[in-house]
């Protein structure tokens, strides 16, 4: 629904601009007022829907295998990620954790009809129940076998998996993975896309990280 309303808004703005140009060329005051009034009413309704849907949204925690979608600049919403495995380790190669390493395997897949797509500038971090944020430990990730980039392009129906690492306190409570992608223009569009996770005031969707098999070390 959000993408459809956004496209309707863009189309409406184009039509409104054309009507305003006609009103100035013809000197039609009533057409100008009618167009501006219609635009004001539509944007007012859109703002109400945007804020209302966001305020009614609920925070979700996705279990292993559950996916979420990403909508970018082109509003395609065809890229998805899912956490497929979580392991813990005290050490990875020659790196020892300050607390405990969480090795998170993320599956990236695409479901358009034909297009070759990829995620853009992926940001992944972990948040706990107290709101503390933890960022990827890239030095520990370097000890893993070579991993594909999150931004790898894939064809329709294709997928790949990538492991990322976080050094979390041993007593961390309810760690959840938060993932976001896109450039600044993508974030600007998503901020006003009704129902999108990144729209203003909208609650976020996290990946659950508490289902793991403990390990001693990873080489």
Query: For residues 70 and 44, which has the higher predicted lDDT (pLDDT)?
Result: 44
The pTM score is: 0.79
Q: What is the pLDDT of residue 125?
A: 95
Averaged pLDDT for residues 107-127:
88
Residue 138's Cβ-side half-sphere holds a number of Cα atoms within 13 Å equal to: 3
Query: For residues 13 and 211, which has the higher predicted lDDT (pLDDT)?
Result: 13
Averaged pLDDT for residues 161-187:
90
Q: Residue 118 pLDDT more than 90? A: no
Tokens at 203, concatenated: 């609650």
Q: Which residues of 72-94 are buried (b: 16+ CB within 10 A; e: fewer)?
A: beebebbbbbbbebbbbbebbee
Residue 85 to residue 106: CA distance in whole angstroms: 7
Average pLDDT of the chain, as a whole number: 88
């Amino acid at each position: 629904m959000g993408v459809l309303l956004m496209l309707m808004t863009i189309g409406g703005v184009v039509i409104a601009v054309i009507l305003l140009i006609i009103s100035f060329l013809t000197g039609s005051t009533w057409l100008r007022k009618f167009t501006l009034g219609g635009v004001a009413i539509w944007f007012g309704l859109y703002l109400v829907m945007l804020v209302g849907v966001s305020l009614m949204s609920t925070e979700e925690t996705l279990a292993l295998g559950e996916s979420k979608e990403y909508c970018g600049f082109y509003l395609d919403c065809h890229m998805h990620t899912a956490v497929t495995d979580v392991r813990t380790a005290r050490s990875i190669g020659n790196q020892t954790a300050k607390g405990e390493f969480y090795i998170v395997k993320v599956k990236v897949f695409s479901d358009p009809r034909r297009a070759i797509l990829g995620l853009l500038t992926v940001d992944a971090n972990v948040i706990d129940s107290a709101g503390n944020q933890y960022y990827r430990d890239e030095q520990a990730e370097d000890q893993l076998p070579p991993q594909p980039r999150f931004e790898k392009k894939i064809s329709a129906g294709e997928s790949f998996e990538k492991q990322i690492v976080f050094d979390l306190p041993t007593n961390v409570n309810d760690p959840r993975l938060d993932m976001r992608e896109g450039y600044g223009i993508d974030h600007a569009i998503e901020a006003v896309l009704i129902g999108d996770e990144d729209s203003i005031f909208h609650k976020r969707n996290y990946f659950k990280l508490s289902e793991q098999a403990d390990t001693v070390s990873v080489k």
